[in-house]
Amino acid sequence: MASSDLEIAPSAALRTQYRDIRQFSEMLCQTLQREDFVIQSMPDVSPTRWHLAHTTWFFETFLLKPNLPDYQSPNANFEYLFNSYYNTVGKQYPRSKRGLLSRPTVDEVFAYRREVDARMLEFLDSAAAGRISPPQNWVEIVELGLHHEQQHQELMLTDIKHVLSCNPLYPVFAARQDVPNATKAATPLSWTDHAQGVYEIGDATPGFAFDNERPRHRVLVERYGIARRLTTNGEIMEFIADGGYRRPEHWLSAGWATVQEQGWEAPLYWLERDGIWMQFTLSGLRPVETDEPVCHVSYYEADAYARWQGHRLPTEAEWEIIAVDSDDDRTAMAQGNFADSGHYHPLAASPSALSQRPKQLFGDVWEWTSSSYAAYPGYRPADGALGEYNGKFMCNQYVLRGGSCATPAGHVRATYRNFFPPDARWQFSGIRLARDV
Amino acid sequence: MASSDLEIAPSAALRTQYRDIRQFSEMLCQTLQREDFVIQSMPDVSPTRWHLAHTTWFFETFLLKPNLPDYQSPNANFEYLFNSYYNTVGKQYPRSKRGLLSRPTVDEVFAYRREVDARMLEFLDSAAAGRISPPQNWVEIVELGLHHEQQHQELMLTDIKHVLSCNPLYPVFAARQDVPNATKAATPLSWTDHAQGVYEIGDATPGFAFDNERPRHRVLVERYGIARRLTTNGEIMEFIADGGYRRPEHWLSAGWATVQEQGWEAPLYWLERDGIWMQFTLSGLRPVETDEPVCHVSYYEADAYARWQGHRLPTEAEWEIIAVDSDDDRTAMAQGNFADSGHYHPLAASPSALSQRPKQLFGDVWEWTSSSYAAYPGYRPADGALGEYNGKFMCNQYVLRGGSCATPAGHVRATYRNFFPPDARWQFSGIRLARDV
Amino acid sequence: MASSDLEIAPSAALRTQYRDIRQFSEMLCQTLQREDFVIQSMPDVSPTRWHLAHTTWFFETFLLKPNLPDYQSPNANFEYLFNSYYNTVGKQYPRSKRGLLSRPTVDEVFAYRREVDARMLEFLDSAAAGRISPPQNWVEIVELGLHHEQQHQELMLTDIKHVLSCNPLYPVFAARQDVPNATKAATPLSWTDHAQGVYEIGDATPGFAFDNERPRHRVLVERYGIARRLTTNGEIMEFIADGGYRRPEHWLSAGWATVQEQGWEAPLYWLERDGIWMQFTLSGLRPVETDEPVCHVSYYEADAYARWQGHRLPTEAEWEIIAVDSDDDRTAMAQGNFADSGHYHPLAASPSALSQRPKQLFGDVWEWTSSSYAAYPGYRPADGALGEYNGKFMCNQYVLRGGSCATPAGHVRATYRNFFPPDARWQFSGIRLARDV
Amino acid sequence: MASSDLEIAPSAALRTQYRDIRQFSEMLCQTLQREDFVIQSMPDVSPTRWHLAHTTWFFETFLLKPNLPDYQSPNANFEYLFNSYYNTVGKQYPRSKRGLLSRPTVDEVFAYRREVDARMLEFLDSAAAGRISPPQNWVEIVELGLHHEQQHQELMLTDIKHVLSCNPLYPVFAARQDVPNATKAATPLSWTDHAQGVYEIGDATPGFAFDNERPRHRVLVERYGIARRLTTNGEIMEFIADGGYRRPEHWLSAGWATVQEQGWEAPLYWLERDGIWMQFTLSGLRPVETDEPVCHVSYYEADAYARWQGHRLPTEAEWEIIAVDSDDDRTAMAQGNFADSGHYHPLAASPSALSQRPKQLFGDVWEWTSSSYAAYPGYRPADGALGEYNGKFMCNQYVLRGGSCATPAGHVRATYRNFFPPDARWQFSGIRLARDV
């Protein structure tokens, strides 16, 4: 969100933004059956019910309870049930057991949302009008709550995809849409060329950004190039056909151990039927298309594929420099195939081969970088419970950039840092190659 | 079911029985929310959805498919999804993953039941009228299907109790009913005295019995006595207060290992709040009452308690001899506090202290015996898939007798053999002591 | 040991017996390297070092410490390090970590043995001469200690076999001996025929027996037959060739789960090389010989094989009745291929086909029975720590009878009850079939 | 090793170096009993036997087999038994099972070493004299083998410490030596101040360095300071006393999970006895001394302690810049308390408070940096099996710098990069703080 909007009419803009984002969460549930909301198919996945309640708990905990003296939670147990990992707030119902809960029911969770929404709008109005005196940074906390909800919107999509994929009936979440100008032939791979230099990365705008995007700081980067499009399914099929998943020499040691333990033979959601690679999508089971970007690969697979190609993954600085470069106007929203398109699946790069700009930087799939997730120089997490948001996860994870087809439009920026452990595959994560020049 | 009924009007009686038993399964779901049907809280537990579908699959697989040529399952995947453990029928969806499935939905499962019920009634009529020629033992297979459904009715109750117990909101499954003549003082313990001799146990009636109850055979039993009532909560509290769960000398070696690994300090569903023992019941959380039979104890706990008392558990032969003895008429239905009473919880023994008969033999709680679950001499399982019903489980399990407050009335007999591993606690299982005389 | 000896000259006989048995333990170590004594290849296995020390600890704990006031253990930590499972004595070093200890060294353990042996002989002399006043049952405790040591002699052999089998160098423990009259053609299978009746089983002699063999009691047995020889490797090869390890219908449910989890395809220590079945023996790797008894099979395999043959395993009562029957003189020592023969491997049945007596009842391999290990009616364990010897293991184990080629001669009797969990394979355990007649 | 030596008389220098380093490995075994060589106390630990054989296998595999046509290994199985992780060479005996092997015995392993040493000296002479034609980089491979052996010398010490620590007898590996000028009062903490700038790090000398130290490259570093001495035991005691191990707010999320799962309450090898902190050292159990550097802490603990202090860990670039700075002559050997001192334990910083140079940079303890272990820009692993040495481990590990009291003198450099997962504690790893200025 551009900060200028807030300066003009912060209350009205925030109100609208609050309502829109909260509604989008509920819109994503339209095709679900009651039974779908309950299931946790692995510890990393949370039930849809839980996402809807936890994002609500966030507003309740960090805004309503401290600032509206008469606020009463519908149920005192919600603090325990819907706290994710904020030790400062209190104990948490064990993460791996979220799928054991059927109550509060889906209807009760929606009622909880309505109750909190009503009080939040009251809070926004009262705070804007000066009738109450919340802490100085209350607007930032509201914005954080909204970006937090958007992050869980993406998780709602990735998690329900995992849930439905466990079912041999392969339920359809959303009917497949037509893609204009669809092509089956991937654009040939070409490369950018960037000069060495000391660049600045990270956020220094007055608008919203997560603490892990800050502070803006200098980085030294040597000359490099980056692939002008994402790696495709067809390219991964060549890797598979060359024995890529059976030859240890391409893999990190920990990656090879994972390949063997998990029996990986292809990206997640791929299965072979009568000699044809099929993949489970949010529109059901269908053949893998060679020109689409590969998706649901781990860092290990991304790294092994790049090594097999004789290339490498970009660092997050290399990615960010090019993403800012491709962006005429830093205040404009990143454009791409985001969740709002309703595809919920990455699209093939458009065939306009003449363009020199890298394609698919935003949306489609998160792009693994070679950068371990770490604090920027001078990084300081917030005080109190909100300081638990990002910093404590800076270990054994790798940075991904650019958002995906499950990311809500408007959520990501060139400076945005996503992060997952190197074996995670259930996110819409893919590959963009880089190389030394 | 008494066989005489079938001889008179088998078709009408079977029809009625079929409809009644099938309806009872659905009646047990009346208070559940859609979300409750989906959850598998541990590998031993199955979701209610699954029980409803699996019992239906049983009729479909063993009666409709082989005998109604035009029968088509609503979904070809149901064979895989709802097969429990019949390797002869085909592969099974993994047992421990039943909680990952939200489809078919509850509505679709009920529709599946209605479809199968309609065709089953058609089958019963056609077979009785001789319009089709099912195998000679078709009535036995129908009866087996109905007793199978009753077994799953009990599991529906024990499983939903476990599911709801995981929820800190402690949902109520059924409101608590008044108990006439309730008393808080347990009847003092007294003992029967049985002569040594060669007895016969096992079933030899023409009516329905499971294959594991047969053949009827001779057993040699030495003189013994059996407690005239079940062990109570109050007695277990004395065991706990004496350090029973902390002193290895009372326990089997495997039991003591389990106590330490699992951190057992009391029966399942007990928890201490402000110095008071509470227990989760299907009517919610409430104080443990001292005169009620103890429930949800493992074989290990039953054995340790008996050892602490200087007594022992009865053998299954000792139990059966006395149960037949207490039963004036072997063809009469066993009387007791069964699921049909709606208590879903064991009741204190009635205070009519004058009676010389053992009380609570049927209903209330399953009674652990010291007998390892094994084949009776001359036992032969059925041919084909139905032969997988009982025999293959005859290893590392112990026999329980008498039914519980979760068993449908009419389901159990004096010869009925239930069986569970020695660490199982989520069934309504309790203790009746025995001793050498 | 025959009790009559003790009546004549208890002290001298006990002294001799003590020395002989203690020396046999050390004789079994003659071919070992220092490094071999240290290794624990799985939790069930103990290092040779540990067996040598633990059996010594037994005498120290139950005889020297209580009865010789000036006795000092070489190291106060030995009580903790070498206690196996006697909770009454105190805490134990964790069983699964016995392979983490290199000290006391092998030399120090042998010194510990010499020290305890010297004091034990002093104790035996003083007690016999009445110079000290040990408890009345001191002779029984000495005898228990000696039988305990013999049990560990068997474990030393089974455990070092497992240890050496993990080594791709397949070290030889003892050179293979010639077998007189060896034949490659197994005797054809024939059966005994036993009348039904009430028999007595269990021990009631004045000589030594473990508490679990008592009390002698009546059992009712129906007419039955038992195979006159053990099941052979050749017969198991037929089972394997018929897909025995791949077809669930032959297996107990828990057995089939184990087959799949462990990837069993043949008995333990078998491996296929160039299409030939080889087996690791204490004399190294050599081809499986078809006429030898099959060995290192679990209860699950024994039961599955019997089921495949259309037969069953004997109960322990059936086995004991026939074993006593085959024994002219109950006070004579059981004859067979025991550890003292130095073969450390079962031998083919002798070809004297005319004999009507069952062969190989004692020695060669322990014979799985279908009897769950349970207390005999009226069983009472000893008071105090020695009461932990047998009773607390009476759960989820099955009885084996007859001793093996790793059992010291003189250790077993017709009433002797060995027991292991149904998945145990590292003992010299085999199969004798039974059938209803 | 300085490359200039090799230029003058490469053969003689290499010969001497080969003999010295190989002998040092055997010197480290002088106090061990045969039994000690065999034990693997956790998967990360290897038995001493294995280290001695594996380092020998390295020379055999990469030098003797390819270059001496008549070379025959003493045993063809050694290739399988003593390969650690070189997939290019062939299959490996499972790492976690190295403690299951007692053969080849210790004597046989020493004989293997003697055989390989004799042939290696022959190889060195022949190659130097031009009588054979090994690949051009043969000197580098010999040097790699020697540095490889030194790495395993350190592991021999850390691993035997872990092995002996599991034994309640707490065996002594080496008698404690007197420390001149020992003090119990730690030097007060002071800080350096370094200017921001673009520095070069990494190796570019002609001498030996591991591939992961290359290429030398530019890094941009902002102004920072580094603690002039290591964090002491006394400082960690303050952290413990302040509830450091019980308060999640200091910890990375993965670190806090590990603290809870593992029950960490203090550094590894610490235990409380009668209210006093004791620690197991290679000289046995003794009280923790407050002025000594803390040792055997994980990255998680190092990070949590730094966070609690309001500081942070240095990056590896920050560390290297200061280490080079402290080093008058880059070709001189790093000075410090290394394994050759025979202390096998870190020493307190010397009290010469006037010095402005950071102390204890080399030796004593490895210093955790905040840098995830990753490839330097332009890094290329070697071709073939030796390319598996470093690169494939660049994931989920953190860099440590400076060597320890278990590192052989002469092995480390300012550019040397060690790496371990963030939960590893059995190395001599400690803490040096850094801060932004």
Q: What is the pLDDT of residues B170-204, one digit of tens each?
A: 999 999 998 876 666 778 899 999 999 999 999 99
Q: Would the CB atoms of B254 and C396 count as touching at under 8 Å?
A: yes
Chains touching chain C at 3 or more Cβ pairs under 8 angstroms? B, D
Arithmetic mean of pLDDT over chain C: 93
Q: By CA distance, what is A99's nearest residue in B? A: B39
Return the minimum-mean-pLDDT range out of A31-45, B20-34, B135-149, C172-186.
C172-186
What is the band of A354 on the pLDDT scale with cuts at 50, 70, 90? low
Nearest to C36 among D39, D102, D171 (CB): D102
Pull the structure tokens for residue B187: 């009847």
Nearest to B103 among A37, A38, A171 (CB): A171
**Chain C partners within 8 Å of B298 (Cβ):** none
Say whether pLDDT at C152 is over 80.
yes
Residue B239: count of CB within 10 angstroms of its CB? 19
Pull the structure tokens for residue C263: 């990837």
**Chain C partners within 8 Å of D169 (Cβ):** 75, 77, 81, 103-104
Distance, in Å, from the CA atom of B139 to the CA atom of B143, rounded to the nearest integer, reads: 6
**Chain C partners within 8 Å of D102 (Cβ):** 33, 35-36, 38-39, 163-164, 167, 171
Distance, in Å, from the CA atom of D63 to the CA atom of D49, rounded to the nearest integer, reads: 21
The sign of the CA dihedral A177, A178, A180, A185 is positive
pLDDT tens string B26-56: 999 999 999 999 999 999 999 999 999 999 9
Predicted local confidence at residue C8, as pLDDT: 45
Distance, in Å, from the CA atom of A436 to the CA atom of A75, rounded to the nearest integer, reads: 57
Q: Please name which of C175, C396, C149, C157 lies closest in space to residue C296, comparing C-alpha atoms.
A: C157
Mean pLDDT of the C97-111 span: 97
Predicted local confidence at residue B112, as pLDDT: 98
Which residues is D227 bridged to in the sheet?
D191
CA distance B54 to chain A (A): 16
DSSP state for residue B400 in the 8-state scheme = E
The percent of residues above 70 in pLDDT, for chain A, comes to: 94
Cis bond leading into C188, ω under 30°?
no
Q: Would the CB atoms of A370 and D372 count as touching at under 8 Å?
A: no
- Predicted complex ipTM: 0.94
Predicted local confidence at residue D382, as pLDDT: 83
Which residues are within 8 A (CB) of A143 and not within 5 positions of it... i.e. 6 or more apart? A1, A14, A208
For chain D, the straight-line distance linking the first and the last C-alpha, in angstroms and rounded, comes to 37
Q: Would the CB atoms of C253 and B395 count as touching at under 8 Å?
A: yes
CB D391, CB D256: distance < 8 Å: no
Say whether pLDDT at D7 is over 50.
no
User: Is this model's pTM higher than 0.90 or not?
Assistant: yes
Measured CA distances, C148 to A119, C145, C153, C193, C271 (Å): 76, 5, 9, 36, 34
Predicted local confidence at residue B2, as pLDDT: 38
| DSSP notation for A49-113 | HHHHHHHHHHHIIIIIHHH-TT---S-TTHHHHS--S-TTT-----GGGGGG---S-HHHHHHHH
Q: Would the CB atoms of A395 and D249 count as touching at under 8 Å?
A: no
| DSSP notation for A120-141 | HHHHHHHHHTTSS---TTHHHH
Distance, in Å, from the CA atom of B57 to the CA atom of B109, rounded to the nearest integer, reads: 11
CB A268, CB A209: distance < 8 Å: no
Arithmetic mean of pLDDT over chain B: 93
**Chain D partners within 8 Å of C37 (Cβ):** 35
Return the minimum-mean-pLDDT range out of C6-15, C280-289, C355-364, D23-32.
C6-15
Mean pLDDT of the D1-10 span: 45
Pull the structure tokens for residue A157: 């999509």
Q: Would the CB atoms of B395 and C85 count as touching at under 8 Å?
A: no
**Chain A partners within 8 Å of B49 (Cβ):** 35
Alpha-helical segments (H) within B98-219: 106-128, 138-165
| DSSP notation for C46-101 | --HHHHHHHHHHHHIIIIIHHH-TT---S-TTHHHHS--S-TTT-----GGGGGG-
Predicted local confidence at residue D281, as pLDDT: 98
**Chain A partners within 8 Å of B46 (Cβ):** none
pLDDT tens string D40-49: 999 999 999 9
**Chain B partners within 8 Å of C246 (Cβ):** none
Nearest to D377 among A222, A249, A251 (CB): A222
Q: Which helix (H) or strand (E) holds C125?
A: helix C106-128
Q: Would the CB atoms of A374 and D370 count as touching at under 8 Å?
A: yes
Q: Is B37 helix (H, G, I), strand (E, B) or coil?
A: helix
Q: Would the CB atoms of B220 and C219 count as touching at under 8 Å?
A: yes
CA distance D152 to chain C (A): 21
**Chain B partners within 8 Å of A160 (Cβ):** none
Q: Residue A366 — left, alpha, or beta (φ > 0 → left; ψ -120 to 50 → alpha)?
A: beta
Q: Please name which of A230, A242, A225 lies closest in space to residue A189, comparing C-alpha atoms.
A: A230
What is the band of C7 on the pLDDT scale with cuts at 50, 70, 90? very low
The sign of the CA dihedral C282, C283, C288, C292 is negative
Say whether pLDDT at B331 is over 60.
no
Q: Would the CB atoms of B81 and A168 count as touching at under 8 Å?
A: yes
Q: Please name which of A154, A210, A153 lies closest in space to residue A416, comparing C-alpha atoms.
A: A210
Predicted local confidence at residue A383, as pLDDT: 82
What is the band of C226 on the pLDDT scale with cuts at 50, 70, 90? very high
Which residues is B399 bridged to in the sheet?
B419
Distance, in Å, from the CA atom of C428 to the CA atom of C154, rounded to the nearest integer, reads: 10
Predicted local confidence at residue A327, as pLDDT: 62
- For A358-384, give one letter per residue: b (16+ CB within 10 A) or e: bbbbbbbbbbbbbbbbbebbebebbee
Predicted local confidence at residue D1, as pLDDT: 35
Residue C142: how many CA atoms within 13 Å on its side-chain side? Answer: 29
Predicted local confidence at residue D179, as pLDDT: 81
**Angle C395-C401-C406 from CA coordinates, rounded to 5°:** 105
CB D218, CB D200: distance < 8 Å: yes
Distance, in Å, from the CA atom of B395 to the CA atom of C300, rounded to the nearest integer, reads: 9
Nearest to A106 among B35, B77, B105 (CB): B35
User: D27: exposed, middle or buried (C-beta count within 10 Å: 0-12, 13-18, 19+)?
Assistant: exposed
User: Best residue in A52, A100, A109, A162 to probe B by mutation, most B CBs within 10 Å?
Assistant: A100
Cis bond leading into C215, ω under 30°?
yes
Say whether pLDDT at A38 is over 90.
yes
Q: Is A234 helix (H, G, I), strand (E, B) or coil?
A: helix
The percent of residues above 70 in pLDDT, for chain D, comes to: 94
Q: Please name which of D200, D59, D37 lies closest in space to residue D124, comparing C-alpha atoms.
A: D59
Give the CA dihedral A322, A324, A329, A333, nearest 10 degrees: 100
| DSSP notation for D359-401 | S--SBSSEEEEEEE--PPTT--PPSSGGGGSSGGG-SS-EEEE
pLDDT tens string D111-168: 999 999 999 999 999 999 999 999 999 999 999 999 999 999 999 999 999 999 999 9
Predicted local confidence at residue A330, as pLDDT: 55
Predicted local confidence at residue D183, as pLDDT: 66
Nearest to C395 among B375, B393, B422 (CB): B422
Give the CA dihedral B353, B358, B363, B368, nearest 10 degrees: 130
Pull the structure tokens for residue D157: 């010490």
Say whether pLDDT at C40 is over 70.
yes
**Chain A partners within 8 Å of B33 (Cβ):** 102-103, 105
Measured CA distances, C23 to C6, C113, D251 (Å): 21, 10, 58
Predicted local confidence at residue C5, as pLDDT: 44
Q: Is D208 helix (H, G, I), strand (E, B) or coil?
A: coil
Q: Would the CB atoms of D35 and C103 count as touching at under 8 Å?
A: yes
Predicted local confidence at residue B10, as pLDDT: 63
Pull the structure tokens for residue D200: 């070069």
Which residues are within 8 A (CB) of B275 and not within 5 positions of it... i.e. 6 or more apart? none
Distance, in Å, from the CA atom of D102 to the CA atom of D34, rounded to the nearest integer, reads: 10
CA distance A100 to chain B (A): 6
Distance, in Å, from the CA atom of C93 to the CA atom of A275, rounded to the nearest integer, reads: 56
Mean pLDDT of the A28-47 span: 98
Predicted local confidence at residue C387, as pLDDT: 86
Phi, psi of B327, deg, nearest 5: -105, 110
Distance, in Å, from the CA atom of B72 to the CA atom of B112, rounded to the nearest integer, reads: 11
Distance, in Å, from the CA atom of D183 to the CA atom of D347, rounded to the nearest integer, reads: 10
**Chain C partners within 8 Å of B248 (Cβ):** 87
CB D403, CB D362: distance < 8 Å: yes
Chains touching chain B at 3 or more Cβ pairs under 8 angstroms? A, C
Distance, in Å, from the CA atom of D419 to the CA atom of D407, rounded to the nearest integer, reads: 14
Q: Would the CB atoms of B35 and A171 count as touching at under 8 Å?
A: no
Nearest to A436 among D222, D378, D393 (CB): D378
Work out whether strand C284-287 and strand C276-281 pair parallel, antiparallel, or are unpaired.
antiparallel
